[in-house]
Amino acid sequence: MQERYHWRSDNQVELLIDGEQFFPAMLQTIESARSSVLLEFYMVSSGMIADQFISALTDAAMRGVEVCWLVDDFGARGLRVSDVSALRSAGVKLHRYNRLRILKLQKNFARDHRKLLLVDQQQAFIGGTGISDEYGVDRSDAEQAAWHEVMVRVTGPVVNDLLAMFTRQWCRYEPGFSLPDAVAGGYPGTGLAKVSVVKGLQQQDIKLSFVRHVREAQQRVWLATAYFLPSFSVRRSLRRAAQRGVDVRIIVAGPCTDHRWIYYASKRYYRRLLKAGVRIYEYQPSFLHTKIGICDNWISVGSCNLDHWNLRWNLEANLEVVEPGLCGDVEALLLSDMERCQEVTYEQWQKRPLKQKAREVLWSLICQLLLKIR
């Protein structure tokens, strides 16, 4: 089964940082839709953000737009029944990916982790957000600040590949599904970006592509990821790149995280990376949930964290982009994020207390046991 699409030229891409940028852009695009709105999201929870999307989607459906929403059954466990009813009553088609069932055993681990919005078959948003307040509503204390995330808005030929990816999944629920003809005009023209879609499930094309670009990098490899549990091949490629003089930097979630055990388990990988010359930064202001990497002038952005669990169980989707403007924007973003981090040095790492070491070993062992589940 082919999981990798071809490179497409003449696309336009735009980096949108945090919910204050990407949510208004996504909602405005839905509100202007004339033909179709397609969504595929892992995390969907009722609340202020979901209310805005439900309102925009129901309005679109009632004016005759084809609205299809695929949610992950586990990721959308926080979506109220009343909200689902409101969507369906307005004509929104909603399906749940891989409904949880006790008798399915380990098959319950297979999740749809993608984050994708397609409007009128001409414009797409892809990245790492969920439709949930965590991404766009600040709380009173620092630990509950809105999660740090990015989305990419894209127009051009690559949108057809994203559309094919969504349609293939949706047809599992509605065989023979087809969309109304796209409405011409009304969206930004094409640009200079060369873009490719990479999907992930078992074949691990996202990881293989990242490792290949790390191996070919001559100047820099910068990576931001929420859950740092990388495979051996990713760790080895990062170490070897640093040893040959490439500027390798990794930004990971700090103490503000939704999975504290991963924060501790991931630290088992620090020693060899730091010793090889890799620089590691822990983000401090809020939960860093971004999944973005840059190798020289090549960029990968999307839903995949490059961790064992994502690569083994999840449907993922990343965009690979070569475009000077986006490259500059990503570089500025990552440099800004590093300023909000606490850098971990090898000397500091060697001096960490015994209690911390024991906690890391414990969670690391638990993590390895979980990864043996087939």
Residues annotated as catalytic are 113, 115, 120, 289, 291, 296
- State the Cα–Cα distance between residues 31 and 23, nearest whole angstrom: 12
φ/ψ of residue 39, rounded to 5:
-130, 145
φ/ψ of residue 223, rounded to 5:
-135, 135
Q: How many CB atoms lie within 10 A of CB 173?
A: 14
- Contact residues for 50 (Cβ-Cβ < 8 A; gap 6+): 44, 79, 83, 131, 132, 133
230 touches 252 (CB < 8 A): no
214 touches 62 (CB < 8 A): no
Q: How many CB atoms lie within 10 A of CB 107?
A: 11
- State the Cα–Cα distance between residues 333 and 104, nearest whole angstrom: 42
CB-based burial, 293-309: b 16+ in 10 Å, e otherwise: bbbebbbbbbbbbbbbb
Length of the chain: 374
φ/ψ of residue 128, rounded to 5:
-125, 5
Q: How many CB atoms lie within 10 A of CB 108?
A: 16
DSSP alpha helix (H) spans, the chain: 19-31, 48-62, 81-89, 158-170, 205-216, 232-243, 260-265, 270-276, 308-313, 324-339, 346-350, 354-371
101 touches 109 (CB < 8 A): no
Q: Which amino acid is at 166?
A: F
- State the Cα–Cα distance between residues 339 and 147, nearest whole angstrom: 17
Task: Decide the pairing of beta strands 292-295 and 220-225.
Answer: antiparallel
